[in-house]
Amino acid sequence: MRSDRLSGIVAKVSVGAKVGWLVPVGIGLAIAGGLLMIGGGIMLAFGITGLANSRRPVRDGPPKPPPAYE
Protein backbone atom coordinates (compact mmCIF):
# COMPACT_ATOMS: atom_id res chain seq x y z
CA MET A 1 0.00 0.00 0.00
CA ARG A 2 1.23 3.48 -0.71
CA SER A 3 1.68 6.23 1.86
CA ASP A 4 -1.59 7.93 0.85
CA ARG A 5 -3.52 4.74 1.78
CA LEU A 6 -4.62 3.96 -1.74
CA SER A 7 -3.89 0.56 -3.18
CA GLY A 8 -3.54 1.92 -6.67
CA ILE A 9 -6.28 -0.35 -8.04
CA VAL A 10 -9.76 0.99 -8.58
CA ALA A 11 -12.44 -1.11 -10.21
CA LYS A 12 -16.09 -0.38 -10.83
CA VAL A 13 -17.67 -3.53 -12.23
CA SER A 14 -21.27 -4.08 -13.24
CA VAL A 15 -22.82 -7.25 -14.66
CA GLY A 16 -26.38 -7.72 -15.87
CA ALA A 17 -28.52 -9.99 -17.98
CA LYS A 18 -32.00 -9.85 -19.41
CA VAL A 19 -33.87 -13.12 -19.06
CA GLY A 20 -37.37 -13.17 -20.53
CA TRP A 21 -38.44 -16.48 -19.00
CA LEU A 22 -37.55 -15.63 -15.40
CA VAL A 23 -40.81 -13.85 -14.52
CA PRO A 24 -43.10 -16.66 -15.80
CA VAL A 25 -41.00 -19.25 -13.96
CA GLY A 26 -41.23 -17.20 -10.76
CA ILE A 27 -45.00 -16.84 -11.11
CA GLY A 28 -45.38 -20.58 -11.78
CA LEU A 29 -43.29 -21.48 -8.73
CA ALA A 30 -45.28 -19.07 -6.58
CA ILE A 31 -48.57 -20.64 -7.73
CA ALA A 32 -47.22 -24.17 -7.18
CA GLY A 33 -46.01 -23.21 -3.71
CA GLY A 34 -49.40 -21.73 -2.86
CA LEU A 35 -51.20 -24.87 -4.01
CA LEU A 36 -48.86 -27.06 -1.98
CA MET A 37 -49.43 -24.87 1.06
CA ILE A 38 -53.22 -25.11 0.65
CA GLY A 39 -52.97 -28.91 0.25
CA GLY A 40 -50.80 -29.16 3.35
CA GLY A 41 -53.30 -27.08 5.31
CA ILE A 42 -56.15 -29.35 4.21
CA MET A 43 -54.20 -32.48 5.21
CA LEU A 44 -53.33 -30.88 8.55
CA ALA A 45 -56.99 -30.02 9.16
CA PHE A 46 -58.07 -33.60 8.39
CA GLY A 47 -55.38 -34.95 10.69
CA ILE A 48 -56.27 -32.65 13.57
CA THR A 49 -60.02 -33.18 13.39
CA GLY A 50 -59.74 -36.93 12.90
CA LEU A 51 -61.97 -37.06 9.83
CA ALA A 52 -59.62 -39.52 8.19
CA ASN A 53 -60.03 -41.97 11.09
CA SER A 54 -63.82 -41.76 11.33
CA ARG A 55 -64.35 -44.39 8.61
CA ARG A 56 -62.23 -47.11 10.21
CA PRO A 57 -64.05 -49.88 12.10
CA VAL A 58 -63.55 -50.02 15.85
CA ARG A 59 -61.78 -53.19 17.02
CA ASP A 60 -62.48 -55.01 20.28
CA GLY A 61 -58.86 -55.80 21.04
CA PRO A 62 -55.85 -57.12 19.19
CA PRO A 63 -56.32 -58.52 15.69
CA LYS A 64 -57.27 -62.18 15.37
CA PRO A 65 -54.57 -64.56 14.15
CA PRO A 66 -54.89 -65.88 10.61
CA PRO A 67 -56.51 -69.32 10.16
CA ALA A 68 -54.21 -72.31 10.37
CA TYR A 69 -53.78 -74.34 7.18
CA GLU A 70 -53.06 -78.04 7.32
Task: Encode pLDDT of 11-38 as tens digits.
Answer: 899 999 899 999 999 999 999 999 999 9
Cα Rg, the chain, nearest whole Å: 32
Comparison of pLDDT for 2 and 49, the residue scoring more: 49
- Residue 9: the pLDDT is 78
Residue 52 reports pLDDT greater than 60? no
Reported pTM = 0.52
Contacts (Cβ under 8 Å, ≥6 apart) of 7: 1
Give, in order, the Cα–Cα distances in Å from 41 to each of 35, 49, 55.
10, 12, 21
Q: How far apart are CA 30 and CA 66, in angstroms?
A: 51
